[in-house]
């Protein structure tokens, strides 16, 4: 049964895993604005790789809705160096959160997925039905498979128990509140932090030719909340539909930070997936959501936040 955004969030007790993190923190703030009763949880409350700890936490909170943002992750370098943690830990986290939500009596589970769940080279722009048509980019394959597992299990829980779920396939996130750890920050944040240090040369991984889709975190939060009216155990692309090369992104960040040094692309480092941009027609036409923040606007706000946090 679909519900309107206003109807579901007013007074709704909502458990947000990863609720003190980058995406989760923005979701919690939006939930408060919608009149919900959000409960932000993180590692301090439970180790979500542990089934019993996870179930105990969910039983204590007794949520009406679960928004699952908790993740063990990092940038492309971290993924390449930690394939076990990125695959194993996230598979456990996703399985345990989904199962605990069902067992605790929640009415809806909304999971944050990622464009990395798509095959390495599907038709562009990516359409949701292509997610299963091939292995993901090997650089982050185990992590991507954990997201696929979560979404496929969501379909299974609906089929067997009628448990409602929805899954947001998110573009590359950026914005205020991203990680201050260079190894774990998303690509936009990592490049911003490096340019703010004013090196003579900014070195960027890869050829610069790979393309990505960058989603401002506040738009992502709104897109995830909008999925309450969708409530189908199917993935929905939540992005901008705008394809930006790594080269153009680096130059845009240099402009936003007033970086005057040179930019060099290290071609010995991996590009990752060659192209990433999604078709967001389903979100627009069926969910009624569209990203509203331009890359220029988002970079300006993000740079201002990092300047404040880093004191530069």
Active site residues: 143
Orientation angle between helical segments 246-257 and 295-310, nearest 10 degrees: 50
Phi, psi of 188 (to 5 degrees): -65, -45
Q: Is 11 left (phi over 0), alpha (psi -120 to 50) or beta?
A: left
Nearest to 111 by CA among 119, 101, 125: 101
Structure-token pair, residue 154: 């969501």
Q: How many Å separate Cα 175 from the centre of its chain?
A: 12
Question: Do the beta carbons of residue 310 and residue 182 sit within 8 Å?
Answer: no
Q: Residue 195 contacts by C-beta under 8 Å, 6 or more apart in sequence?
A: 202, 253, 254, 257, 259, 261
134 CB-side CA count, 13 A = 13
Structure-token pair, residue 236: 């929905």
How far apart CA 244 and CA 214 sit, in angstroms, is: 8
Quickly tell me which residue has 């738009």 as its tokens: 219
Structure-token pair, residue 136: 């993901």
């Amino acid at each position: 049964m679909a519900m309107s955004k206003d109807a579901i969030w007013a007074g709704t007790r909502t458990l947000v895993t990863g609720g003190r993190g980058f995406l989760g923190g923005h979701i919690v703030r939006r939930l408060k604005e919608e009149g919900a009763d959000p409960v932000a949880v993180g590692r301090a409350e439970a180790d979500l790789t542990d089934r019993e700890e996870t179930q105990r936490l969910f039983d204590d909170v007794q949520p009406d809705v679960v928004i699952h943002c908790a993740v063990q992750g990092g940038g492309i370098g971290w993924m390449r160096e930690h394939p076990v943690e990125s695959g194993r830990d996230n598979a456990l986290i996703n399985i345990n959160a989904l199962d605990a939500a069902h067992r605790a009596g929640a009415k809806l589970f909304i999971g944050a997925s990622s464009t990395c769940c798509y095959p390495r080279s599907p038709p562009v722009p990516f359409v949701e039905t292509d997610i299963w048509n091939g292995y993901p980019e090997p650089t982050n394959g185990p992590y991507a498979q954990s997201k696929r597992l979560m979404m496929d299990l969501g379909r299974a829980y609906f089929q067997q128990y009628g448990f409602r779920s929805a899954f947001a396939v998110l573009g590359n996130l950026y914005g205020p509140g991203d990680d201050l750890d260079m190894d774990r920050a998303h690509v936009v944040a990592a490049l911003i932090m490096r340019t703010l240090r004013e090196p003579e040369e900014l070195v960027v991984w890869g050829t610069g030719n790979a393309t990505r889709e960058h989603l401002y975190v506040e738009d992502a939060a709104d897109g995830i909340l909008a999925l309450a009216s969708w409530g189908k155990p199917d993935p929905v692309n939540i992005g901008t539909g705008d394809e930006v090369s790594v080269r153009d992104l680096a130059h845009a960040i240099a402009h936003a930070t007033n970086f005057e040094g040179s930019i060099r692309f290290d071609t010995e480092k991996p590009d990752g997936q060659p192209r990433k941009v999604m078709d967001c027609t389903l979100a627009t036409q069926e969910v009624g959501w569209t990203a509203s923040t331009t890359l220029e606007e988002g970079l300006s706000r993000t740079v201002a936040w990092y300047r404040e946090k880093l004191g530069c």
